[in-house]
Amino acid sequence: RVVREKSLRIYRQLIDMPAYQLARCIACYVSIKNEVDTRIVIQKAIDSGKQVGVPVTRKDGDMNFQAIAGLSDLRPVHYGLREPVPDSQKVLLSHTIDLILIPGIAFDRRGHRIGSGGGYYDRFLARTEAVRIGLSYAFQIIDRVPAEPHDVKMDLIVTENEVIKI
């Protein structure tokens, strides 16, 4: 219940942002466990006419975003993740994505994040000019995230309490 309430507050902050309002094509993670719940973001964006892509991971360590028509396109894969059935015709080209919503275990106010360790997002973010927004609970904002040269910083971080501009 707390996850749902905080996620809804984050969603409300997000949809007021010009970066969201102007975006025609959004890439968004599909939340699992206690991550900021993205189901409402995904469905409402689709309902408002935005194109939405969700991650499809490959065994070679690469990740693409694939357009979906709705949450019903998702199926369980591994580690509790839900992905659409891979379809190369629906893969979003990185230069067509206006905004990407990114999960993290922790973020700092300089825009650095700690991910889940696979490096999928760092590799993808290096290939796109999309506005990068981290979705986070306030308690996940820490003083300093150790940063590597290949780490890609967020442009903004949205919590239930604030929008952090980097």
Quote the pTM value.
Answer: 0.94
Reading the block at residue 154, the tokens are 């967020």
Q: Which residue has the higher pLDDT, 151 or 9?
A: 9
pLDDT for the residue 48: 97
State which H helix or E strand residue 123 sits in: helix 120-125
pLDDT for the residue 5: 95
pLDDT digits (tens, 9 = 90+) for 122-156: 889 999 999 999 999 999 999 999 988 878 899 99
- Burial of 15 (C-beta count, 10 Å sphere; 0-12/13-18/19+): middle
Does 62 have pLDDT greater than 90? no
pLDDT for the residue 26: 99
What proportion of the chain, given as a percentage, has pLDDT over 70? 100
pLDDT digits (tens, 9 = 90+) for 15-55: 999 999 999 999 999 999 899 999 999 999 999 999 999 99
What proportion of the chain, given as a percentage, has pLDDT over 90? 81
Q: Three-state SS for 65? A: strand
Please list the residues that pair with 84 across neighbouring strands. 74
| Fold classification of 2-165 (topology level) | Rossmann fold (3.40.50)
pLDDT for the residue 117: 72
Distances (CA, A) of 66 to 8, 70, 93, 146: 24, 12, 9, 31
Where b means 16+ CB within 10 Å and e means fewer, 103-129 reads: bbebbbeebbbbbeeeebbeebbeebe
Does 58 have pLDDT greater than 90? no
